[in-house]
Amino acid sequence: MSEFKQPVVIFSDVIKHFGEVQALRGISFELFPGEALAIVGHNGAGKTTSIRLLLGLLKPDSGTVNVFGRDPYPEDEPNRVLRRHIGVVQEEDRLYLAMSAEENLLFWLSLYGVPANRQKERASSVLSMVGLEQRVRRKVGTFSKGMRRRLAIARALAVEPQVLILDEPTVGLDPEARVEVRKLLEGLVHQKGLTLLITSHDLNEVEKLCEKLLLIDSGQVLLAGSLAELRAGQQPELSIKLVFKNGNTFPDWLFQELTALPFVARLALEGNLLTVILNQGGEEPIGQIIARLTGAGIGIAAVEPRQLTLEEIYLQTTENHKRIVHEKK
């Protein structure tokens, strides 16, 4: 792979309306070859609209959508070729239930221009990959939801895409099927090194599959970056387990003194557990807090710096955004 990589997907200040509703309000992001990006957000945040724009199903009102260096919307010959490099799994499976698993794949491969002599081999290979090799000739109508989703993934992979787009791949599945599909995707992403764009509500799934995240709400980007960057950008949190001697309690003056420290954002005391949210990381603030606690005669049983989970980052960011929007009103 060359040192300098061109982005596979570029969204630049994309705006899209549906009548009066503004679905996207200036979304920008880039996806480079080999990267896995997750777009997360509430229902109606603009995730599926972004996917539809990327697939050239919708036309942006303004801004630029660029896939492999081209506007994907026009139905011209170069875009016909471009579509062959994109595998799609939509929120619903959208398979032909009266056809067998193999027939579904052969039809799809023919649409993508795969030569007839290579179709059967390709279909059988992806069916094995998703664990459906025993059900090649079974009608899809008889499949469970999990099996249908695996077949939908197989259909997307059968065309040997350079970019795989998954719109809510585990939504509507029971916990067992969800784990099954997630494991399959994890294997594919990590072993095959596919360029992946996924929309999901399941932040667990996102954490396992993607290294980059785009959090959108009401058609706006609230947060974007690699998971490591996003975590580093969050306020560090400290849990301190206290030991009170001789029936002492936590003195009010100490609580006020700690709150007044410039590197302390928030302080919460619950029983003998003190939670400190810091404005900055590093060892010095932790050292200072511990010194003040021990100086006041409070023993320390344990100190645990805690990293925020993706879910907490998500909730914190969306709540902050809601508060800002509310204050503006």
Residue span binding another protein (CB under 8 A) among the ranges 5-13, 52-60, 128-136, 266-274:
52-60
Residue 193 lies near another protein (rule: CB under 8 A): no
Residue 77 lies near another protein (rule: CB under 8 A): yes
Q: With respect to another protein, which residue has the nearer C-beta, 106 or 129?
A: 106
Whose structure tokens read 């069916």? 127
Residues 6+ apart with CB under 8 A from 1: 33, 34
CA distance 301 to 298: 10
DSSP string covering 48-105, please? HHHHHHHTTSS--SEEEEEETTB-S-S-SHHHHHHHTTEEEE-SS----TTSBHHHHH
Residue 234 lies near another protein (rule: CB under 8 A): no
Residue 98 lies near another protein (rule: CB under 8 A): yes
CA distance 204 to 40: 12
- Give least dist CB 58 to another protein, A: 5
Residue span binding another protein (CB under 8 A) among the ranges 102-110, 216-224, 241-249, 263-271:
102-110
Of positions 52, 231, 241, 292, contacts another protein by CB under 8 A: 52
- Give least dist CB 99 to another protein, A: 8
SS3 318: helix
| Dihedral pair phi/psi, residue 115, rounded to 5° | -55, 145
Contact 87, 165 (CB under 8 A): yes
Residue span binding another protein (CB under 8 A) among the ranges 4-12, 77-85, 237-245, 288-296:
77-85
Residues that bind another protein (CB under 8 A): 18, 48, 52, 55, 57-59, 73, 75, 77, 80-81, 83-84, 86, 88, 90, 92, 94-96, 98-99, 107-108, 110-113, 115
